[in-house]
Amino acid sequence: MSANAQVAEVFDQMAAALELLGANRFRVNAHEKVARVLRDLTDDVRAVVEENPPAAVARLRSFDGIGESSAKKICEWVETGSVPEHQKLLSQVPLGLFEVLAIPGVGPKAAKLMWEELGIESLEDLKTTSDEALSSLPRMGKKSVEKIRQAIDFSEKSGDRVPLGVARPMAQKLVAELSKLDGMQQVDFAGSLRRGKETIGDIDILVATTDAEAVREAFCSHPDVTQVLARGETKCSVRLENERGVVMQADLRIVPEEAWGAALMYFTGSKEHNVRLREIAIGKDRHLNEYGLFSGTAERPQDRGETPVAAASEESIYQALELPFVPPEMREDRDEFSDRWNGEALISLSDVKAELHAHTTASDGRLSIEELAKEARRRGFHTLAVTDHSKSQPIANGLDEDRLLAHIDAIRKADAKIDGIRILAGSEVDILADGSLDYDDELLAQLDIVVASPHAALRQEPVVATERLLRAIRHPLVHIIGHPTGRIVGRREGLSPDTKRLYEAAVEHDTVLELNSNWNRLDLRDAHLRAALQAGCKIAIDTDAHDTWQLDHLVYGILTARRAGMRPEQCINTWPADKLHSWLESKR
DNA sequence: GCCGTTTTCGGCCCGACTGTTTTCAGTCG
């Protein structure tokens, strides 16, 4: 785990402990914010502190949300490996209680009561505590106990958050079916799904309709629904299960059409973005809630029949607040309210005109060169790079030198045969553990494009990983570094190199870094990508497709790129054919 | 605990829902 992630964990635990001990909620929030800032930070805090200890506190304080006290704690962690305040809190609150706090419906008050009154110190304790004992607690009746039992059951069955690429099709299916209903005015999904986060907790569907009952009925009786959790006037909650057994909660919200924009904004979040937006509204003597943006700062203007200044569209609300429109993917309270964001168009799916990383039957793909090329052409691409695996990937049927030479020949023939698309002879060459490549330079020079990727030795120490990747970036025949960290979302952390040095080297050597669109990878991830772009790196967004349907994964790459604030020209896949081809040739 | 071209002190988003209650605390997003 990276230093930043480890310190973030310390702050999250301090926040949870403080919450359980009944500390001021703003203090709790402040700790949570520090954890969040640390997770998004691309500067490595260990490096920041070790490089210049006397200036470390000031440097850390320059990050929004980190103050004097937190900066000192971070320094303590780097210098001694622990934070005394953290240790002190852990001695006051049992660690297992954090699992109890994590159960939906159990907040700090309830967890604290369970602990103090019933001696519950872990999830296991809670499970073995009788219903009678639990319901003896204040404000804890039969229904509350039942809900807690169900929540434990659900979290054990459904596990953690679901990858974007699994959740999005489930939501799209629901939206497509609801949109067919009579009286439907608007329907869309909101929440982290609309923001394109790499993992999704639950699905939020928003609807404006003239026939609410029809929508409620269609939603609650949908074939994928296994349980209806709640069915109210404006909100229904269900459990969905897809054909592969993935279980998710989905919430339906029915909102008035005239407040569609305000509601969509509210339910899209993020929470942190909304909070900042409301603060900005107050500063302009306005009041923002899910019913609209109102004049004055009095509470609940909608109840007094006041007409909002803006409500029907998200655009109108940002405009009335004198802010550039913020695309959903950027709403994370990072820097979308700073001068850095001016509302310029972000990259979109239709900007992409080339696929530069894809596999065929020569290695572990399912399509022939021609099938792949025709599929790429059908999508309006002007260029396709065929990049099969190299010899150190026997599990992926990687090509040895002789097979690669024959493959290059076959690609050239296909290129001559098929009109309307340029087919490039390439390779996804392994970056070996020491940073050398899997083919010699003479062979690499015969390829039109070289994507160099790490596949093995993905648990290397950061220092070793940095040197390994730097060596590949500096290699004069390498165009693109494929999935640079080798991480798998939620399953494998991958390499944790000094990203700052990688980005500087990539700029210096004109080497492109990949954003791999496969939803299992999304590598570089959003925060890294943002820093790479700010460092001036060029990016390739590729699908790494092994079959036709995987070319559709491009959308996940685009969502991730938008989260990083990417403009079209920063992505080489958007370049016109001649610009792209001449850049590729510049490395030959 | 953090933050400040109106503040170095005094604020810190807003509303819905639920269950347990006779008026609201706790939790969530």
Nearest protein residue to nucleotide B29 (CA to C1' distance) is: A271
- Residue A26 DSSP code: H
What per-residue confidence (pLDDT) applies to A411? 97
Q: Could you tell me which of A412, A481, A417 has the C-alpha nearest to residue A446?
A: A412
Which nucleotide has the least CA–C1' distance to A204?
A: B29
CA of A18 to C1' of B17 (A): 26
Per DSSP, helices labelled H in A179-222 are: 191-195, 212-220
Residue type at A261? G
CA angle (A312 as vertex; A310, A316 as ends), nearest 5: 50
Helix axes A401-417, A369-378, angle to 10 degrees: 50
The Å distance, CA of A105 to C1' of B22, is: 24
Element (H, E) at A457: none
Among A219, A223, A163, CA closest to A193: A163
Beta bridge partners of A253: A206, A235
Q: Say which CATH topology domain A269-330 has.
A: Beta Polymerase; domain 3 (3.30.210)
Å: A290 CA to B17 C1': 15
Q: Who among residues 285-324 of A has its Cβ near strand B, under 7 Å?
A: 287-291, 297, 299-302
Domains A269-330 and A349-585 in one fold: no
| A256 CB contact with strand B at below 7 Å | no
Kindly list the domain boundaries of chain A, sorted by start residue: 3-92, 97-158, 162-254, 269-330, 349-585
Closest residue to B13 (CA to C1') is A275
Proximity of residue A19 CB to strand B below 7 A? no
Tell me the CA–C1' distance in angstroms for A269 and B23.
32
Q: Which of residues 47-76 of A touch strand B (CB under 7 A)?
A: 61, 64-71
Question: Which pLDDT does position A157 carry in this prediction?
Answer: 67
CATH code that applies to domain A162-254: 3.30.460.10
Q: Is the CB of A140 under 7 A from strand B?
A: yes
Q: What long-range pairs does A169-174 form, CB within 8 A, spacing at least 24? A: A169/A242, A170/A203, A170/A224, A170/A240, A170/A242, A170/A246, A170/A248, A170/A250, A171/A203, A171/A205, A171/A250, A173/A224, A174/A203, A174/A205, A174/A219, A174/A222, A174/A224, A174/A240, A174/A250
* Contact flag, residue A269 CB and nucleic strand B, below 7 A: yes
CA-nearest of A270, A273, A285 to A320 is: A285
How far apart CA A86 and CA A5 sit, in angstroms, is: 15
Beta carbon of A161 within 7 Å of strand B? Answer: no
Give the 3-state secondary structure of residue A505.
helix
The CATH number of the domain covering residues in A3-92: 1.10.150.110
| Distance of alpha carbon A545 from alpha carbon A517, whole angstroms | 9
Evaluate if the CB of A34 falls below 7 Å from strand B.
yes
Nucleotide with the nearest C1' to A111 CA: B26
CA nearest to nucleotide B21 C1': residue: A139
**Tokens representing residue A252 in the block:** 């339906």
A202 touches strand B (CB under 7 A): yes
- What per-residue confidence (pLDDT) applies to A401? 93
A521's CB contacts (< 8 A; 6+ apart) are A483, A487, A488, A489, A544
Q: For residue A106, which nucleotide's C1' is closest to its Cα? A: B27
Q: Which nucleotide is nearest to A299 (CA to C1')?
A: B14
Instruction: Please say whether the structural domain A97-158 has been given the CATH code 3.20.20.10.
Output: no
Residue A192 Cβ under 7 A from any strand B atom: no
Per the structure, the residue whose CA is closest to nucleotide B18 at C1' is A144
Angstrom CA distances, A44 to A4, A246, A522, stand at: 6, 36, 21
Instruction: Tell if A259 CB is < 7 Å from nucleic strand B.
Output: no
The tens-digit pLDDT sequence of chain A (588 residues) is: 788 889 999 999 999 999 888 888 889 989 999 998 898 888 889 989 998 888 999 999 988 899 999 999 999 999 999 999 999 999 999 989 998 998 888 888 999 999 989 999 999 999 999 998 888 888 888 888 888 888 888 777 666 789 999 999 999 999 999 999 999 999 999 999 999 999 998 899 999 999 988 998 899 888 888 888 777 788 888 888 888 888 888 999 999 999 999 999 999 989 889 988 998 998 888 989 999 999 887 778 888 888 999 999 999 999 999 999 999 999 998 889 888 888 999 999 999 999 999 999 999 999 999 999 999 999 999 999 999 999 988 888 899 999 999 999 999 999 999 999 999 999 999 999 999 999 999 999 999 999 999 999 998 888 999 999 999 999 999 999 999 999 998 878 889 899 989 999 999 999 999 999 999 999 999 999 999 999 999 999 999 999 999 999 999 999 999 999 999 999 999 999 999 999 999 999
As a CATH number, domain A349-585 is 3.20.20.140
- A142 CB contact with strand B at below 7 Å: yes
- In angstroms, how far is B1 C1' from A110 CA? 24
CB of A492 under 7 A from strand B?
no
* Contact between residue A545 and residue A410 where contact means Cβ atoms under 8 Å apart: no
